[in-house]
């Protein structure tokens, strides 16, 4: 089995769903309540210990606010072995957008790319802010071979976990 030392992973999803916050939480364990939207290309790396003899460096690309310019996307995800598509559980429109990204990635890369789907802002699930049903998305994820978890960049819930599961699947290829 090939043991790649590193892989490229892109973040995709509507603006303000928490892509940059997930990247910051994953790579630095930090969260900024009033983060400025990213200016310029954002690139973070973080090494994960997959098992006792395998570590994998994740080269994580953040969209730098270019998510509005869809024509730039192919350049951005070219060569990526993995993607994390993010939506916001309090915004059903953002799920619709996430599904469009999944469809595009599957069309471009056939079944090759490992895709994670993060339902972010899970800390807002209490109260009546939730717009997206977990079970429905879980079913959709199952049908489309996606690694699905609800995450909170704010609290840190499931952030390392979803990246780790994606990395493990990349390593197993
Ligand atoms: P991006 O445009 O997708 O990169 O989104 P950002 O990371 O810039 O986040 C957009 C806004 O959502 C910011 O005000 C963040 O503080 C907030 N945010 C991001 N992740 C979470 C989360 O897990 N929970 C909550 N409550 N807010 C979040
Ligand atoms: Mg951002």
**Which SS3 state, helix, strand or coil, does residue 84 take?**
strand
> Is pLDDT larger for residue 164 or for residue 74?
164
| pLDDT top residue among 70 and 118 | 118
Q: Which atom of ligand 1 is nearest to the CA of 153?
A: 23
For the cut 70, the answer to whether the pLDDT of residue 144 exceeds it is: yes
Burial (CB count within 10 angstroms: exposed 0-12, middle 13-18, buried 19+), residue 140:
middle
Query: Partners of 51 in the beta sheet?
Result: 54
Q: Which of 28, 152, 153 to mutate to test the pocket of ligand 1 (most atoms within 8 A of CB)?
A: 153
Check residue 154 and report its DSSP letter.
Answer: T
Tell me the pLDDT tens digit for each residue of 23-77.
999 999 999 887 666 554 578 999 999 988 889 999 999 987 667 777 778 888 9
Quote the CA–CA distance of 17 and 2 in Å, as a whole number: 34
- Residue found by looking up tokens 């972010």 in the block: 120
The β-bridge partners of 147 are 116
Q: What confidence score (pLDDT) does residue 2 get?
A: 47
Query: Mean pLDDT over all residues of the chain?
Result: 90
More confident position, 63 or 144 = 144
Alpha helices in 10-86 (DSSP H): 19-28, 73-77
Q: Does the beta carbon of 30 sit less than 6 angstroms from any atom of ligand 1?
A: no
How close is the Cα of 141 to the center of ligand 1, in Å? Answer: 22
Residue with CA nearest ligand 1 atom 18 = 18
Q: What would the pLDDT profile of 68-105 be if each residue is shown by its tens digit?
A: 777 778 888 989 999 999 999 999 999 999 999 999 99
Burial 15-41 (b: 16+ CB within 10 A, else e): eebbbbbbbbbbbeeebeeeeeebeee
Determine the Cα–Cα distance for residues 124 and 113; give it in Å rounded to an integer: 30
Nearest to 88 by CA among 98, 80, 103, 78: 98
Task: Decide if 60 contacts 22 (C-beta within 8 A).
Answer: no
């Amino acid at each position: 089995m090939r043991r790649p030392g590193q892989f490229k992973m892109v973040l995709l999803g509507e603006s303000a769903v928490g892509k940059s916050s997930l990247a910051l939480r994953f790579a630095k364990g930090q969260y900024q309540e009033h983060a400025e939207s990213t200016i310029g290309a954002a690139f973070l790396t973080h090494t994960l210990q997959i098992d006792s003899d395998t570590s994998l460096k994740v080269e994580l690309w953040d969209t730098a606010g270019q998510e509005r310019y869809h024509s730039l996307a192919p350049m951005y995800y070219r060569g990526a072995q993995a993607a994390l598509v993010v939506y916001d559980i309090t915004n059903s429109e953002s799920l619709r957008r996430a599904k469009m990204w999944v469809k595009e990635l599957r069309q471009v890369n056939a079944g090759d790319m490992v895709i994670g789907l993060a339902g972010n802002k899970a800390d807002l699930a209490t109260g009546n802010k939730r717009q997206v049903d977990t079970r429905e998305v879980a079913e959709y994820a199952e049908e489309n071979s996606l690694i699905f978890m609800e995450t909170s960049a704010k609290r840190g819930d499931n952030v390392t976990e979803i990246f780790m599961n994606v990395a493990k699947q990349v390593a197993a290829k």
